[in-house]
């Protein structure tokens, strides 16, 4: 190879990339391997994607809008879909939301990227629910923030000072990623009080809202704030992120940010710097699926399927994994958070044995900004059939046994 | 309003936003006003968007791929479209490109964002063709770079040192935005020499490639490099950006980055942090339009229309504006770059008079990282019919006269 002689060394990459992780790419690649049972990704059940409804919606959208949805955009997205999302929030919160309160994004993930771009300079503080959604940590890595842990009990000394210093608080109150936990209504209200006192923003990330298995999730923090201030256009501190990725399909890449109009305008400036606009075509398809009532009819079907899958996973885990792990069955969402009962299990180390047994999960370290949390694993139950989930749990049991045997061998 | 009492002041925005501009939003808003002739945006002719072909392609894509194109992705994009783009580059450059050399993006704009994210830390240097595409400046603003001017003559003292210090060079050799200039082949080759010597990257932004009015554009800088090193997979310093926004429609938001596999993998990590993946559905529609030969058949139709529009604009400008401005008719692309003949014209100031006459252009200051270039304007000819272009030029003439009269009045 003349390769290394023929060129000078090239410039260094940006600093944040040395702290990056490739684990999401790994999971997505594993997702394509037929011989591996992936309990890793946060993926919906592909067999439930409404392919025919989307084909019909695409045809209707192009007939309805013609070349107008083949333009660059407005940056903020298709006005009719912004209005439809605003109407949904007005109806569910009792506050007045208009299109000016809604920015359409390439999935809720882009909302996280834009919030980071708009608010965070290197070294600044984010107070984040811990453990923290991997994608949020990824989204903010290029802004090089520091982190403090959101303490839902609000008891930790110094927490109020951290809130005052923070650019924003990050919370996933409904069926959190990775833990599946549903935050109590009283805790939501109490956090909102503290956020208002501190004068900071609150990013409420709510992708799992449609996936309610055991009764209603109750009001969002956005709705709490709206109930306290029912009059006039929304001007509160909540920056709310939603998506169609869980209720319909992630492939449309349609998400939204709902917030006060000034913040939405700021995030639109950040979006202009990012990709000018998302596809209006996929937004127009989403509009058809919402306006026709298809989305509302579809959600109960996926909820039924996912509830069965959660139950199948938890039953199998009780049989095969409860010697080493404990968990609560989540009342919604996509994940069971399994915590090691003893300190001799390191889930980073377990992961290699799991891959050897052809099963994948997400080790807890990637949900910790410092990478230090190694005592738990996130297990997805939405992607696979109950039968495959049971097989995955059996493989996990073998992986744990292999791992502990290898540890014992080294210790001996 | 109880509004200001009811909340504490909120945290400051990220620093780069204080240097941001809202001019792209303004242009896009003006584009929606029927009474204004907009010569401002870089927009294609909406009446040439192939609505029916896209509807048919959407139906074919969903039949062909089903739920597979409703997934999150792979981050890098639909493998079959990556392969199709790679094949195009292998065919036109004689070098071996594979899918691993191609990242699909939300328009070429996202490629610019990702290059900035991957390579630039605050204060680091970009050597950019001057004047510089506004969208590139927007894309890199959050990374807070410094700029030096790309000198195509390679004569400026200190230029080689700047290249060695730069994270990358940014060039638009084909029908540049904003100037419409076509860079000579000898200049491309000479710049490539210097880039190789300096050991930096070269970002070649090529959105206007399909819009060749007066004969072929000739090889890209990527092709120059490939011709020198014809064997093996591509491993050169060129990071090439392309898009379907000009040949088909911007609303699909399908663009691509072509480069060495390691850089493509790095940009994919940056994309993971940005939006996880672009829509596979729109990528699959694009694949249908490419594979079927539709894109290749469509390009000559738009080239014919745009050539007529360029000619109509330049004829009208010769009649109405040549007293105050000079320009070269561009051999391709979307823009005429009109430079004031005398120093008493400031195009920022002229812009207000133009809006009063219900015509818009883009003042040169936004194409200068320092905002100091105020002697020129970018005039778009692709969006409007020849008749509307002529009317727009007449309004521009009235705006110049109003402006100069107002200046004379103040001076008196």
The pLDDT of residue A2 is 36
Q: In terms of pLDDT, which residue wins out, A194 or A32?
A: A194
* Chain B residues near residue A29 by CB distance under 8 angstroms: 74
Residue B70: which of A15, A54, A198 has the nearest Cβ?
Answer: A54
Q: Which residue has the tokens 């001799």?
A: A344
pLDDT band at B9 (very low <50, low <70, confident <90, very high): confident
Residue B214 C-alpha, separation from nearest chain A C-alpha, in angstroms: 27
pLDDT digits (tens, 9 = 90+) for A44-97: 999 999 999 999 999 999 999 999 999 998 999 999 999 999 999 998 888 999
Tell me the average pLDDT of chain A. 94
Residue B22 carries which DSSP code? Answer: -
Q: What is the pLDDT of residues B12-61, one digit of tens each?
A: 999 999 876 656 666 666 666 789 999 998 999 999 999 999 999 999 99
What pLDDT score was predicted for residue A9? 79
pLDDT-based confidence at residue B350 (cuts at 50, 70, 90): very high
pLDDT at B8: 54
pLDDT(B87) > 70: yes
The values of phi and psi at residue B99, to 5°, are: -55, -30
pLDDT tens digit string along A196-220?
Answer: 999 999 999 999 999 999 999 999 9
pLDDT at residue number A7: 47
Q: What pLDDT, on a 0 to 100 scale, did the predictor assign at position B268?
A: 96
Instruction: State residue B31's pLDDT score.
Output: 61
Q: Counting every residue, how long is chain B?
A: 412
A11 and B109 within 8 Å at the Cβ level: the answer is no
- B1 — pLDDT class (breaks 50, 70, 90): very low
Are the beta carbons of A276 and B197 separated by less than 8 Å? Answer: no
Q: How far apart are CA B149 and CA B199, in angstroms?
A: 18
pLDDT single digits (tens) B243-269:
999 999 999 999 999 999 999 999 999
Neighbours of A21 (CB within 10 A): 16
Cα(B306)–Cα(B301) distance, integer angstroms: 9
For residue A409, is pLDDT > 90?
A: no
Nearest CA of chain A to the CA of B255: how many Å? 10
pLDDT at B34: 81
* % of residues, chain A, pLDDT over 90: 88
Q: Does the beta-carbon distance from A253 to B69 stay under 8 Å? A: no
Element (H, E) at B309: helix B294-320
Task: Spell out the residues 6+ positions from residue A128 whose beta carbon is closer than 8 angstroms to its own.
Answer: A136, A147, A148, A149, A150, A169, A170, A171, A369
Looking at CA atoms only, how far is residue B240 from chain A in angstroms? 16
Asked if this assembly's ipTM is beyond 0.85, the reply is yes
For residue B29, the model assigns a pLDDT of: 65
Distances (CA, A) of A124 to A194, B12, B248, B270: 19, 11, 43, 20
Distance from the A405 Cα atom to the nearest Cα atom in chain B, whole angstroms:
36
> For B127, phi and psi rounded to 5 degrees?
-95, 110
Of B6, B24, B282, the CB nearest to A281: B282
Give per-residue pLDDT as tens, B292-315. 999 999 999 999 999 999 999 999
**Tokens 């004068």 sit at which residue?**
A199
Burial of A91-106, coded b for 16+ CB within 10 Å and e otherwise, reads eebebebebbbbbbbb
Residues of A whose CB is below 8 A from B20? 269, 273
- Residues B264 and B101 sit within 8 Å (Cβ to Cβ): yes
Place B7 in a pLDDT band, splitting at 50, 70 and 90: very low
- Using the predicted structure, report yes or no on whether residue A3 has a pLDDT greater than 50: no
Helix (H) or strand (E) holding B53, with range, is helix B51-65
Could you tell me how many CB contacts below 8 A there are between chain A and chain B?
256
Q: CA angle, B124 as apex, B120 and B125 as ends, to 5°?
A: 105
Q: Output the pLDDT for position A139.
A: 97
Query: Cβ contact (<8 Å) for A20 and B273?
Result: yes
Least confident of A154-158, B181-185, B332-336: A154-158
> What pLDDT is stored for residue A156 in this prediction?
93
State the Cα–Cα distance between residues B225 and B195, nearest whole angstrom: 11
Q: Which residues of A touch B117 (CB under 8 A)?
A: 14, 142
pTM, 2 dp: 0.95
pLDDT of residue B4: 39
Closest CA to B359 of B326, B322, B321: B321
Give me the percent of chain A exceeding a pLDDT of 70. 94
Q: Which residues contact B293 (CB under 8 A, 6 or more apart)?
A: none
pLDDT confidence of residue B73? 87
């Amino acid at each position: 190879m003349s390769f290394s002689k023929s060129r000078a060394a090239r410039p260094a990459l940006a600093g944040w990339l040395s702290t990056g992780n490739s684990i999401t790419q790994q999971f997505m690649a594993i997702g394509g391997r037929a011989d591996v049972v992936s309990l890793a990704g946060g993926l919906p059940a592909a067999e439930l994607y409404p392919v025919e409804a989307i084909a019909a919606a695409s045809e209707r959208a192009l007939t309805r809008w013609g070349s107008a949805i083949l333009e660059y955009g407005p940056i903020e997205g298709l006005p009719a879909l912004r209005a439809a999302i605003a109407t949904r929030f007005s109806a569910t919160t009792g506050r007045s939301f208009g299109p000016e309160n809604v920015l359409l994004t390439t999935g809720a993930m882009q909302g996280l990227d834009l919030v980071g771009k708009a608010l965070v300079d290197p070294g600044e503080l984010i107070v984040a629910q811990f453990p923290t959604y991997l994608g949020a940590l990824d989204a903010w890595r290029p802004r090089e923030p520091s982190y403090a842990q959101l303490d839902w009990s609000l008891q930790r000394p110094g927490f109020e000072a951290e809130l005052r210093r923070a650019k924003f608080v990050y919370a996933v109150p409904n069926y959190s990623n990775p833990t599946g936990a549903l935050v109590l209504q009283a805790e939501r209200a109490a956090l909102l009080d503290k956020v208002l006192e501190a004068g900071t923003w609150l990013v409420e990330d709510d992708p799992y809202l449609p996936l309610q298995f055991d009764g209603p999730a109750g009001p969002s923090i956005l709705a709490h704030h709206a109930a306290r201030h029912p009059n006039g256009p929304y001007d509160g501190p909540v920056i709310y992120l939603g998506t169609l990725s869980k209720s319909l399909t992630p492939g449309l890449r349609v998400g939204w940010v709902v917030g006060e109009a000034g913040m939405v305008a700021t995030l639109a400036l950040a979006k202009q710097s990012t990709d000018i606009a998302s596809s209006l075509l996929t937004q127009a398809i989403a509009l058809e699926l919402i306006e026709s009532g298809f989305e509302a009819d579809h959600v109960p079907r996926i909820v039924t399927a996912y509830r069965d899958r959660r139950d199948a996973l938890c039953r199998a885990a009780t049989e095969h994994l409860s010697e080493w792990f404990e968990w609560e069955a989540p009342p919604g969402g996509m994940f069971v958070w399994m915590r090691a009962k003893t300190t001799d299990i390191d889930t980073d180390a377990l992961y290699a044995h799991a891959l050897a047994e052809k099963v994948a999960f997400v080790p807890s370290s990637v949900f910790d900004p410092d990478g230090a949390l190694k005592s738990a694993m996130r297990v997805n139950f939405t992607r696979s059939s109950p039968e495959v989930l049971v097989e995955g749990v059996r493989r996990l049991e073998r992986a744990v046994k292999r791992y502990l045997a290898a540890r014992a061998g080294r210790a001996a």
